[in-house]
Amino acid sequence: MEAPLLREHEHVEPNLFKRSLIESKKLWQIAGPAIFTSVFQYSLGAITQTFVGHVGTLELAAVSIENSVIAGLAFGVMLGMGSALETLCGQAFGAGQIRMLGVYMQRSWIILLCSALVLVPIYVFSPPILILFGQTKDIADLAGKFALWMIPQLFAYALNFPIQKFLQAQRKVIVMTVVSAVVLVIHVVLSWLLIFKFGWGLWGAAIALNLSWWLIVFGQLGYIFVTTSDAAWTGFSMLAFNELFDFIKLSLASAVMLCLEFWYLMILIILAGRLTNPVIAVDAISICMNLYGWEIMIAIGFNAAISVRVSNELGAGNPQTAKFAVIVVSLTSIALGLVCMVIILTTRNEFPFLFTSSSVVAKEVTKLSGLLAFTMVLNGLQPVLSGVAIGAGWQALVAYINVGCYYIVGLPIGLLLGFKFDFGVEGIWSGMIGGIVLQTIILVVVTSCTNWNKEAAQAEERVKKWGGTAAEED
């Protein structure tokens, strides 16, 4: 470990401000395009819902439920399992084992495609599942029909997320942004043609959404195959079938870690529907979650940026540079969270009317604005710490932390405050914020106490164990 320690002294500069600017530039070069990519891809489903909303109220409800529950579940699982590549590809790239990136991506394709097959029954049997969660039969039946049509999207997810992590590790995020932007424009035109011009309704919406996700996959693959991605892609290899068991363990840990976070906030909306006045409660919480969802797009960008920076620097044996990157991105994201908090608080009496004409709903949203603003600040730091965990390979540890903080502490407190003590939505949300606060504190402590030299050594061992040396000798 003397080499990393020597590098640590070599990287120390007297001008801390200059170091911060250099690191910020590196982070924004990844985070900026990653944010736009997330927004563009998030907008595909949102635009579909907007178009379908002009077809009929039942159709809108069906598409909304399918997008948020069925496809949302699949999205979380696929994104989570694909996030294992942020650790492996990032560290391999930092270590100079470029050829292994393509092998890792192929391993992830194998695992995610098999996982997609396991998820297909959820799509097929979605009507009884939705009814079990309290949906009416007419909405559940139509959502179930739409879910069957959306099965191709599930397999697009399985290919897309490994591709994106593969490109992110090489900092080729502009490619993803351009492809997603072009597809978004195509999606708007295609949706208008199929849903309105041809009058195909939900069937047209399904074709447009499926085709758009597959265009994203083909566009990114086209770039990789044509450019060979600077030797990171050298064609299909039998090495993809090596070390699959350990790869599956890391993929599952990544999926559990992220899904526990996604589902935690989804539960908030489900519980709101069980309150005394569910229509007002659900409408109000949905407006808040809509705004929160857009801020999450920014958080995803920072999550991607810090996981790439940490994994690259650990793989390269630069532990102190990784540590400094964590500090810079944490301060940057907290600052943006504070800006969002100020905007929410200063416009709390006005912004609800952008989403509703009901004064009763708007009043409820205003009451929730304080909790929303505080959640925005937490959302500035928490995803960054999750990104650090992904970059360092701590997914299993964070999964345990999430279970304890979210479901053993936060959720029970929220149920008590919301139902037992009649604080309603504010009580449920307050309890769940308590879980996020506890998780954030623990992750801050873990990150602060981390031996970054040891993490760099483990990254080197991980690259060797999972085929890096073998690939170079091949």
Instruction: Report which of residues 73 and 177 the model is more confident about.
Output: 177
Instruction: Kindly state the helix (H) or strand (E) to which residue 235 belongs, with its residue range.
Output: none
Q: What is the DSSP string of 8-64?
A: HHHH--S-HHHHHHHHHHHHHHHHHHHHHHHHHHHHHHHHHHHHHTTT-HHHHHHHH
Residue 469 has pLDDT above 50, yes or no: no
CB of 382 closer than 8 Å to CB of 443:
yes
Residues whose CB falls within 8 Å of the CB of residue 130, separated by 6 or more in sequence, listed in order: 65, 69, 139, 140, 143, 144
CB of 312 closer than 8 Å to CB of 94:
yes
Predicted local confidence at residue 24, as pLDDT = 87
Q: What is the mean pLDDT of residues 399-413?
A: 88
- For residue 328 the two structure tokens come to 């810079």
Q: What is the mean pLDDT of residues 439-465?
A: 81
Q: Which of 414, 103, 171, 461 is nearest to 275 (CA)?
A: 414
Predicted local confidence at residue 128, as pLDDT = 92
How many structural domains comprise the chain? 1
Residue 154 has pLDDT above 90, yes or no: yes
In Å, what is the CA distance from 241 to each residue of 107, 111, 434? Answer: 6, 10, 43
Q: What is the mean pLDDT of residues 260-273?
A: 70
Q: Which of 327, 255, 239 is nearest to 20 (CA)?
A: 327
Q: What is the mean pLDDT of residues 339-352?
A: 91
CB of 424 closer than 8 Å to CB of 280:
no
Sign of CA dihedral 297, 302, 303, 309: positive
Mean of the per-residue pLDDT values of the chain: 82
Longest alpha-carbon distance in the chain: 69
Q: What is the mean pLDDT of residues 383-409?
A: 81
- Host domain of residue 249: 2-473
State how far the Cα of 447 lies from the Cα of 377, in Å rounded to an integer.
19
Q: What does the angle CA 162 – CA 165 – CA 169 come to, to the nearest 5 degrees?
A: 145
- For residue 217 the two structure tokens come to 């996959």
CB of 220 closer than 8 Å to CB of 168:
no
Residue 302 has pLDDT above 50, yes or no: yes
Return the residue matching tokens 């205003």: 366
Q: What is the mean pLDDT of residues 387-402?
A: 78
Residue 474 has pLDDT above 80, yes or no: no
Rg (CA), the chain: 22
Q: What is the mean pLDDT of residues 318-344?
A: 88
Residues whose CB falls within 8 Å of the CB of residue 39, separated by 6 or more in sequence, listed in order: 294, 297
Proportion of the chain above pLDDT 70, given as a percent: 90
Instruction: Report which of residues 15 and 160 the model is more confident about.
Output: 160
Return the residue matching tokens 């990032």: 90
Express each pLDDT in 76-107 by its tens digit. 888 888 877 777 787 788 778 888 888 889 98
Find how far residue 61's CA is from the centre of its chain.
24
Residue 6 has pLDDT above 50, yes or no: no
Strand boundaries in 356-460, DSSP class E: none
Q: What is the mean pLDDT of residues 161-188?
A: 92
